[in-house]
Structure 1
Amino acid sequence: MKAIDLFAGAGGLSTGAAMAGAQVLWAANHWPTAVQWHTANHPGTVHACQDLHQADFRDAPAHDLLLASPACQGHSRARGKEQPHHDAQRATAWAVVTCAEVHRPQAVIVENVREFADWTLYPAWCAAMNALGYALAPMVLDAADHGVAQNRLRLIVVATRSKHPVELKLPRREHRTAASCIDFSTGRWSAINKPGRSLNTLARIAAGRRAHGDRFLAPYYGSGSGESGRSLGRPIGTLTTKARWALIDGEQMRMVSAAEGAKLMGFPNGYRFPANEATAWHLIGNAVPPPMAADVIDALRTAV
């Protein structure tokens, strides 16, 4: 199976495709940093750094499978009501339609936040894909059900050139614990009760200690991370583009590192990310968990 990857980012979908035995021929993203690191991890793939609104998809190679993760920021609740939900970001989904019209691959897999289906133009987007001969099978999946140590709910739309929507027989894998991805011997630890620590942070840590004991995960910011602590014996909550989870060990704490975040996202050992923590988290938080992608592509291969 030959694939291309639009809005490829750090390469979660590409990595999942490779895990499922597909060959990713071409990958594109508008952000040079994302293209740089996708190239570092997928050197055999041809890369394009461009605004996909303006792409000439005749330049992309013929393929059996189109993978795409259009911008989610215009749809996600995590962005907050006070932030603009730009039409320009939402409109990235139309690039999928354009590319599918040019190449008519046998299958298309689109990943986004669940709120993508609430977009006012989502019915029109689906109708456009239908007009190209695709039957759509939307489903909401939790990455934790696919062996990823993270509860991450995402909408997956599987489009196939078939009369009826495809029915995928997806495995339900054993949940991995957050602890399996955490290294307590590394990192920059600090005292929990140091001067200047936010009272809200201290309150969340105190609540977590009552519920989970001395070692647990605590949301460091209220926005986008919830208010309660989380046991290390279960998957971590959804990772975002910023380090938002703190690791508590007795009277000391540190932020979960980007290296740990990559493991919590399901990237394989040795997958390369930038040394800068903020940049690495931006790539990780926008990524698709590779094992979830691999399960979907494996099931699709069996079904079609």
Structure 2
Amino acid sequence: MSISYSDCLSDLLCGEDSNSIFGEVSVECSSDLDSQSPDIEESIAGLIEDERDFVENFHSTTEYLDASTRAEYVAWIIKVQKYYAFQPLTTYLSVNYFDRFLHSRRLPKTNGWPLQLLSVACLSLAAKMEEVLVPPLLNLQVEGAKIIFEPRNIQRMELLVLRVLDWRLRTISPFNYLNFFANKIDPTGTYTMFITSRAIEIILSNIQEASFLDYRPSCIAAATILCAANDLPNFSFVTAQNADSWCGGLHIDKINGCYRLMRQIVMNNRPRKPPKVLPHFLVMPRTSMSSDSSLSSSSSSFSYKRRKLNNGLWMDDDKGCSN
């Protein structure tokens, strides 16, 4: 017996309290590692071990989709995230689904609408994973969406994404490591909140860059924590070499490369000082200077005929005294 399309959608549009598909996954995607295990060290080690399932060579996505086009659709996802005040993890999952889908399956190049539909579907799935309140599909298409799709078409695309990703919506993200790495730098917890908040900003600001697809989540987390910590004078001495003692399984060379890439992007995005504007001097051509030489000589000879008297008055040599 064939399965109807409505039956598929009943699974896709499951309730928030359902544990058959999304319930267990949403807990694993949470960035609150304190509730996962009494031994946080073992939890982090387990996450790094699970990163072996992370899709390698993600940069092959750019063989089909150039970096500028990818950045355009990721920028739209970020705009919607800010519009609805979604969690940062929602943005990360949306982009992760987007990249993983294109890594496994290509879309027809037809005026860009398949990529727009894919970005809407990925954002909708991520919002259902992480957000308590999810806007209707029509309301989700805001902030300059090029095409407005009907909800049924978005739902069909959602189902296609789920099938291509093999229903594996659980994704280890850099957010899983931020609190742990921040506490390694600042065991007292004095600046932990600032470091983690700054690290989240760095991750979201760099998520449009396709170059970061070459790095694992733990590597991105370590590099962002280093960048955030270096903004504070007390931790300006912290380098990637210090990350070697944070946890086993971290690759210092990769962290160094990711850190340098982040710093380079930060420097490139800083507003440059406007150049100093020098006063404009009127440069006369030689011909005009020679033609006006007679005027300048006559005016100079006239000025020499006037001489200042001791009482502050002026007198022309050929005229009387004048005020």
Class of the TM-score when normalised by the shorter of the 2 chains: under 0.3
TM-score normalized by structure 1? 0.27
| Greater Rg over alpha carbons, structure | 2
**Which has more helix, going by share of residues?**
2
Q: Which has the higher contact order (CA 8 A, sep 6+)?
A: 1
TM-score normalized by structure 2? 0.26
